Amino acid sequence: MKLAGKNQAWERHQKQVPSVDEPGGNLWGCFRSCFLQSAAPYTEGVAYKILKNDLGIELREAPGHTSCGAIGYHGDVNNLETQMVIAARNFSIAHYEQGVDNLFSFCVTSFANYTEVIKLWEEEPDLLEYTEKTLKETTGREFWIPHVSGGRPSVVHASDVFFANRHKLAEKAKYSLKGIKATDHVGCHYGKIFPGEAMGGAEFPQVLVGLLEAFGAEIVDYPERRHCCGMGFRQCAFPENRDYTAGSVYKKLASLKEAHPDCNLILTNCPGCTVFMDAEQGTIKEVLEEEFNVSILDYAQLTGLLLGYDPFKDCGLNAKAVPVEPLLDKIGIPYDKSKTAEERRRPF
**Mode of pairing for the β-strands spanning 295-298 and 265-268:** parallel
Tell me: do 207 and 319 sit in the same domain.
yes
Close Cβ partners of 21 (under 8 Å, ≥ 6 residues apart): 168
Q: Where does the chain show beta strands of DSSP type E?
A: 27-31, 58-60, 103-105, 156-157, 181-185, 218-219, 265-268, 295-298
- Of 106, 125, 156, the last residue of a domain is 156
Residue 91: other Cβ atoms inside 10 A: 25
The shares of helix, strand and coil residues in the chain, as percent rounded to the nearest 5, are 50, 10, 40
What is the rounded distance in angstroms from the CA atom of residue 61 to the CA atom of residue 99? Answer: 10
- What's the pLDDT score for residue 288? 93
**Mode of pairing for the β-strands spanning 27-31 and 58-60:** parallel
The answer as to whether 4 is a domain residue is no
Cα angle 214, 220, 224; round to 5: 125
- Calculate the CA dihedral of residues 18, 20, 23, 24 and round it to 10 degrees: 80
Q: Which domain holds residue 340?
A: 165-344
pTM, entire model: 0.94
Tell me: do 210 and 324 sit in the same domain.
yes
What is the rounded distance in angstroms from the CA atom of residue 60 to the CA atom of residue 94? Answer: 8
Tell me: do 37 and 112 sit in the same domain.
yes
- Among 91, 132, 106, CA closest to 33: 106
- What's the pLDDT score for residue 194? 87
- What's the pLDDT score for residue 1? 45
Ranges in the chain, pLDDT < 50: 1
Give me the CATH number covering residue 278.
3.40.50.11810
Give me the CATH number covering residue 42.
1.20.1050.140
Residue 86 three-state SS: helix
